[in-house]
Amino acid sequence: MLTPMPLDLRTALARTECDLYSNLVTRATGRAVRGQLETMLREMEGHRLAVLDFTHVGVLDFSCADEIVAQLLLRFGAGLPAHAPAPPPSPSYFMFRGLAEAHLEALEPVLEGHGLALVAEAEDGSMRLVGTVDADEQSTWQLVITSGGGDVAAIASFAVDVRVDLHARLEALARRRLVIQTPAGFHPLRHH
Amino acid sequence: MTTILTVPPSLDDGSFETLLQALAAVPDDVRVMLDARHTRWSTPYGLINLLTLAQARGDRPEFIPPEDSDTVSYWARAGFFRHAESLMKFTRPVPTKGKSGDSNFFLEITPIAQTEDVQHVVAHIQDRSKAIMETLGFPPSGSVGFSVVLSESCQNIIEHAGGPGWVAVQTYNWQKRLGRRVVVIAVSDSGVGFRTSLGQTVSRGATDRWDDAAALEAAVLRATSRFRDPGRGQGLAGIRKYMGKWDAKLTVRSGTARIGIIPKWDDDMALVEQLAPFAGAQYQIIIPQAVPS
């Protein structure tokens, strides 16, 4: 079972020396905020779902998008490109909340530059993939969301094309930590 | 010995080049006097580059202020004299203290030397972002993009220049040239420039040219960074994307070359070489008011 770990970016920013502002701009700020987040993550034992909340962030520039989001994913081996070597086992999954369109304008090219992908949750609870995902990954991930997760047969019952090797595709998504794999099957990232 | 250089009556990115051409003929050990007596108008690019010029010379050139009192008053409100005081010797008193600020200046001339300066600039411009978007006829949601462009432009000073720089944001009416208002971001530094900054890391064959134009092409068109990390170099690439979105013009000058992302409404050249040499890098972004569809 994953332990949800809400991480308010404003709180992380407030712990840095850049706490006068609510904007995530400049590489130095990004490095400082990521340092805070890494400390907060290390403080928690076991498997965890880090929920990074951007709701109170005003401006996110390309530099901070890279230093915070991309570097965090790279360091924890989450969202890595499908062709990347398998990351070392890590107990960390990531979900991103409160990403406005303006944040995504900075974030998407940064993720694409690294071949990374992440799960973003909207205010209404709906989820989407952001970054580098191909059509197969997208449709498979959507199946997990629509089905609510379960074993392969349960997820396959929601598929239109049952000929595809769904298990391999689900495992690939799990390797990217865009879904969670347990002995019971494959599940969406959820924190409530 | 002192050489007098005449500041053009109307100082913008184009006429500033004539000043640099004249400066190029002055040996380093000869003092210069900048004569702005007949200057009546300047873009933010012109003002911050006068500061950069003085900074690059390093010998506190003398400066004859404009004769026109309105021009002096405007430059004072832009913060020009306040910052120039430590870089130039004024030949007569000018208002260096007191009230600054002008409604046309969304951001008066501001020094950029460290990360906190960029944070401050972005926070400041956010307070005015609604006015900027209204001026440009863009939806308010575009204001974050404006802050991002400003942030990334300023960060190039900190990350690459190796020295301090300046930024200013102003709006003015380009009635004659474009028939619309524009918002202009000007950023300048007197640092090492793109050729030196990228020179250590850009891989090239022994016969490949490596000059200011090649360095600008690498940085602006190919998002090359001096860092090998694929996450670097995104700033200028991102700025370019916003230029397309806003139908805006971007020019970046460094050393003896200038490269531009030129929209259809302008007939400037995309690449200009063999300019007079100048320290550091100079950015100008011109965002025109949107044309109602």
d(CA B138, CA B142) in angstroms, rounded, equals: 7
Given an 8 Å threshold on Cβ–Cβ distance, is B234 in contact with A114?
no
- Identify all chain B residues contacting A71, using CB atoms and an 8 Å cutoff: 231
State whether residue A110 sits within 8 Å of chain B by CB: yes
Given an 8 Å threshold on Cβ–Cβ distance, is A23 in contact with B119?
yes
Domains and CATH numbers, chain A: 3-132 (3.30.750), 134-192 (1.10.10)
Given an 8 Å threshold on Cβ–Cβ distance, is A25 in contact with B148?
yes
Side-chain half-sphere of B177: how many Cα atoms within 13 Å?
12
Assess whether B2 and B72 both reside in one domain. yes
pLDDT of residue B206: 57
Distance of alpha carbon B90 from its chain centroid, rounded? 23
Structural domain including B198 reads 102-293
Question: What percent of chain B is predicted at pLDDT more than 90?
Answer: 67
pLDDT tens for each residue of B187-244: 999 998 999 988 877 666 655 788 999 999 999 998 777 666 766 778 888 999 999 9
d(CA B251, CA B283) in angstroms, rounded, equals: 6
- Torsions phi, psi of B18, nearest 5? -65, -35
Q: Which residue has the higher pLDDT, B174 or B86?
A: B86
Residue in chain B nearest A18 by alpha carbon: B116
d(CA A139, CA A76) in angstroms, rounded, equals: 25
List, in order, residues 6 or more apart from B165 with CB less than 8 Å away: B52, B111, B112, B113, B154, B157, B187, B188, B189, B190, B191, B280
Q: Which residue has the higher pLDDT, B204 or A128?
A: A128
Assess whether B19 and B160 both reside in one domain. no
Q: How confident is the model at residue A1 (pLDDT cuts 50, 70, 90)?
A: low
Answer left, alpha or beta for residue B102, where phi above 0 means left and psi between -120 and 50 means alpha.
beta
pLDDT of residue B84: 96
Which residue type does B63 have?
F
pLDDT of residue A41: 83
State whether residue B115 sits within 8 Å of chain A by CB: yes
Residue with tokens 């873009």: B43
Nearest by CB: A21 against B123, B145, B159: B123
Residue in chain A nearest B142 by alpha carbon: A102
Q: How confident is the model at residue B119 (pLDDT cuts 50, 70, 90)?
A: very high
Given an 8 Å threshold on Cβ–Cβ distance, is A102 in contact with B141?
yes
pLDDT of residue A115: 95
Assess whether B152 and B244 both reside in one domain. yes
State whether residue B152 sits within 8 Å of chain A by CB: yes
3-class secondary-structure state, position A180:
strand
Structural domain count of chain B: 2
Assess whether B110 and B84 both reside in one domain. no
Assess whether B178 and B74 both reside in one domain. no
Assess whether B55 and B110 both reside in one domain. no
pLDDT of residue B204: 60
- Identify all chain A residues contacting B235, using CB atoms and an 8 Å cutoff: 61-63
Tell me which of B26, B60, B95 is where a domain ends.
B95
State whether residue A26 sits within 8 Å of chain B by CB: yes
Nearest by CB: B122 against A59, A71, A105: A59
Q: State yes or no: pLDDT of B160 exceeds 90.
A: no
Q: State yes or no: pLDDT of A19 exceeds 60.
A: no
3-class secondary-structure state, position A7:
strand
Assess whether B44 and B120 both reside in one domain. no
Q: How confident is the model at residue B176 (pLDDT cuts 50, 70, 90)?
A: confident
Lookup: tokens for B5: 């250089």
ipTM score of the complex? 0.84
Assess whether B112 and B161 both reside in one domain. yes
CATH of the domain at B194: 3.30.565.10
- Identify all chain A residues contacting B234, using CB atoms and an 8 Å cutoff: 62-63, 65-66, 109-110, 113
State whether residue B293 sits within 8 Å of chain A by CB: no
pLDDT of residue B255: 96
Lookup: tokens for A116: 């990374």
Task: Find out whether A53 and A6 touch, Cβ atoms under 8 Å.
Answer: yes
pLDDT tens for each residue of A134-158: 999 999 999 999 999 999 999 999 9
State whether residue B240 sits within 8 Å of chain A by CB: no
B144 to A31, B26, B148: CA distances (angstroms): 21, 44, 6
